[in-house]
Structure 1
Amino acid sequence: MHPPHRLEIRGLTKRFGPVAAVTDVGFAVEPGRVTGFLGPNGSGKTTTLRMLLGLVEPDAGTALVNGLRYRELPDPARTVGAALEANNFHPGQTGRDHLRIYAAMIGSPDSRVDEVLSLTGIWDAAHRKTGGYSTGMRQRLNLATAMLGEPPVLVLDEPTNGLDPEGIAWLRRFLKEAAAEGRTVLVASHVLSEAAQLVDDVLVMHRGRLLAAAPLTELAAGTTLEDAFLNLTGALA
């Protein structure tokens, strides 16, 4: 079991010129559960995640991992496993070589490479160059990279992109097991029907603002997650 790590977002705000990307967003993500960070493309999810990971400086507010900003963490890459894009691979490298380089960077042993290849179901493709990987295979390699440091926190942006139904079922099992081990799991997605199969708790973003934060069973009680979202956004019209 992993020691509990809590994510806390407080009043995050970010503008890009005239565009208000994120406005006064605040929420908490608890360990032991899979939290869906949901909303259409352009709703501010990725900008919020990038602020959490110290890749974008907020205009206001804070994003904390166990009370610390990402850049203040003593071992950030082994505390937060992040998978934001599934295309950050050199096309001429094999999957195993990509993982070995990243493992060396964060201080994980080579033996961990084989472990994450098996964990994510891409052992048979480890010797192939990533330029020949399908989108779904890239997603799995991205997740394998995030898991190299055995992090207590997982932050995933659109992990279902390119996955077939079997792959989504596999991802659901993977995330549930990660949460059951005590990890804090935050998953951003714009595909609400797929996200509803993956998460325990829901954060709903729309036009840079947080509209709701609740357990999935409460938010979508008696309806679908898509209809719940439409009800929330319709109240703003």
Structure 2
Amino acid sequence: MDMLNQGVEMIRVRRLRKVFGGASAAVTAVDDLSFDVVPGAVTGFLGPNGAGKTTTLRMILGLVTPTSGTATISPGETGDKRYADLPNPSSVVGAVLDKSAFHPARTCRDHLGVYARMGGYPDSRVAEVLDLVDATSYAHRQARGLSTGMRQRLNLATALLGDPRVLILDEPSNGLDPEGIAWLRRFLRDLAGQGRTVLVSSHVLSEAEQMVDHVVIIRRGRLVTAGPIADVTKDGNLEQTYLALTGAAA
């Protein structure tokens, strides 16, 4: 598959809001949130625990219905579209939110084969993505015997089956050793270098600073700042800037 021959997509979030619960016990998880995630860059999605990051990602992917506002993939070949309205969503957006969505007795190759058939992709794509994430050597192993790093690579391989132009990852470096983190950093930068749109949530600021080109920082469901990391951190490093902007510097 040739991603560069496909349309160029970005993520566009506009005045997104999500309220859980009824009027007497309403909790606003995301509040009037707007930002763009542009192609050709790794964008870090940052914020304290409970800031609304995962809820936002789930709304972008159509897993949670917004109370108001929109989350779309744009411009695409047919204009802005919600994830649920894409004709073949896995060929446009690849996502990793659930770190344990494997049948324990299924091998890596079999797991990918199931998802390839579900997406309508050729069997040859399984070998391609295994090679892409350097997982061919353990493709025969059952999921129950995989290390955390192996599981993360299998998750990425699954997300990449449709050769998507957009990749959304929730805390992809969790549980990885230094070697695995370094590999992930290089891998995501390579994908962005191909013109893809990569959105990564993270709470490890030191790693995010080395990995991302742009940042979107939220607090209590609202946008604090967004832009190129060089602009956002011009008065300090990412950790200093983040702590100051989120009110956690004390």
User: TM-score, with normalisation over the residues of structure 1?
Assistant: 0.96
Question: Given that residues 139 and 161 in structure 1 are in contact (C-alpha distance below 8 angstroms), is that contact kept between their aligned partners in structure 2?
Answer: no
- Distance (whole Å) between structure 1 residues aligned to residue 217 and residue 144 of structure 2: 35
Match runs of 1:26-175 below 5 Å: 26-66=34-74, 67-175=80-188
**Identical counterparts, % of pairs:** 59
**Could you give the per-residue CA deviations for residues 17-67 of structure 1, whole angstroms, max 9, x where no partner exists?**
222111111001111111111112211011001000100000000001011
Alpha-carbon deviation of 1:77?
Answer: 1.1
Deviation at 1:236, TM superposition (A): 11
Alignment partner of 1:11 is 2:19: no
Task: Report the residue type matching 1:189 in the other structure.
Answer: S
Contact 2:243/2:249 (CA < 8 Å) preserved in 1? no
The question of 1:230 aligning with 2:243 is answered yes
| Distance (Å, rounded) in 2 between the aligned partners of 1:236 and 1:194 | 19
Q: Which runs of 5+ in 2 are unaligned?
A: 75-79
1:162 CA displacement: 1.5
Aligned equivalents of 1:38 and 1:235: distance in 2?
13
Q: Compare 123-132 and 215-224 and name the one that shifted more.
A: 215-224
Distance 2:178 2:7 in 1: 32
Q: Aligned pair count? A: 237
Matched, 1:219 2:232: yes
3-state secondary structure, aligned to 2:210: coil
Paired residue for 2:199, among 186, 196, 214? 186
AA partner of residue 64 (structure 1): T
User: Is the 1:32–1:182 contact (alpha carbons within 8 Å) kept by the matching residues of 2?
Assistant: yes
Please give the secondary structure, in 2, of the residue aligned with 1:93: coil
| SS of 2:14 mapped into structure 1 | strand
1:197 aligned partner: 210
Cα distance in 2 between the residues matched to 1:209 and 1:73: 27
Q: Is the 8 A contact 1:13 1:24 kept in 2?
A: yes
Does 1:25 find its partner at 2:33?
yes
Partner of 2:77: none
> Which portions of structure 1, spanning 4 or more consecutive aligned residues, are displaced by more than 2 angstroms?
234-237
Q: Is the 8 A contact 2:235 2:241 kept in 1?
A: no
